[in-house]
């Protein structure tokens, strides 16, 4: 099982709480980086610390959840060692891992159901990076 960092903003708070329960029941070790309520907040305050910990290797994967997932993805991708993927479909979650070696999945709570969020997280966490020709491309991502 994986060590997973999870966070987001107020729009993703309820999905985050449900995903923590779901992933913990599946045997994953999950750390909540906040927010800790559905009060309006600024997603970078949670996305940056989460991305830093994934980048350092303290967590295998990260999950970020906000309304559109754009803000958290943009924030996380400012970190050189992060490859955060905005996911709205199972196949996108799988390809983000297979071809891009993504280490953070970003979920748009206002545009997907909770069941879809669980499905996408499972697909992301259970899909391996293919390496090979994709490794060369991934190596060119960082500035």
Domain ranges of the chain: 3-139
Residue ranges, the chain, pLDDT below 50: none
Q: What is the pLDDT of residue 119?
A: 98
3-139 CATH choice from 3.60.15.10, 3.20.20.410, 3.40.1400.10, 3.40.1190.20:
3.40.1400.10
Of 2, 29, 40, 34, nearest in space to 17 by CA: 34
Tokens describing residue 39: 């009060």
Q: What is the pLDDT of residue 142?
A: 86
Q: What is the pLDDT of residue 143?
A: 86
Q: What is the pLDDT of residue 139?
A: 94
Supply the residues annotated as catalytic.
Answer: 66, 99
State the pTM of this model: 0.97
């Amino acid at each position: 099982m994986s060590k997973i960092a999870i966070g987001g903003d107020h729009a993703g708070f309820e999905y985050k709480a449900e995903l923590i329960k779901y992933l913990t029941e599946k045997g994953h070790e999950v750390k909540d980086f906040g927010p800790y309520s559905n009060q309006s907040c600024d997603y970078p305050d949670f996305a940056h610390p989460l991305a830093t910990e994934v980048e350092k290797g303290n967590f295998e994967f990260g999950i970020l959840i906000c309304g559109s997932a754009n803000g958290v993805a943009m924030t996380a991708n400012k970190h050189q060692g992060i490859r955060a993927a905005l996911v709205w479909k199972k196949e996108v979650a799988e390809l983000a891992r297979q071809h891009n070696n993504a280490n953070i999945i970003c979920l748009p709570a206002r545009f997907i159901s909770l069941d879809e969020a669980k499905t996408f997280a499972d697909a992301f966490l259970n899909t391996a990076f293919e390496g090979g020709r994709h490794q060369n491309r991934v190596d060119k991502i960082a500035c």
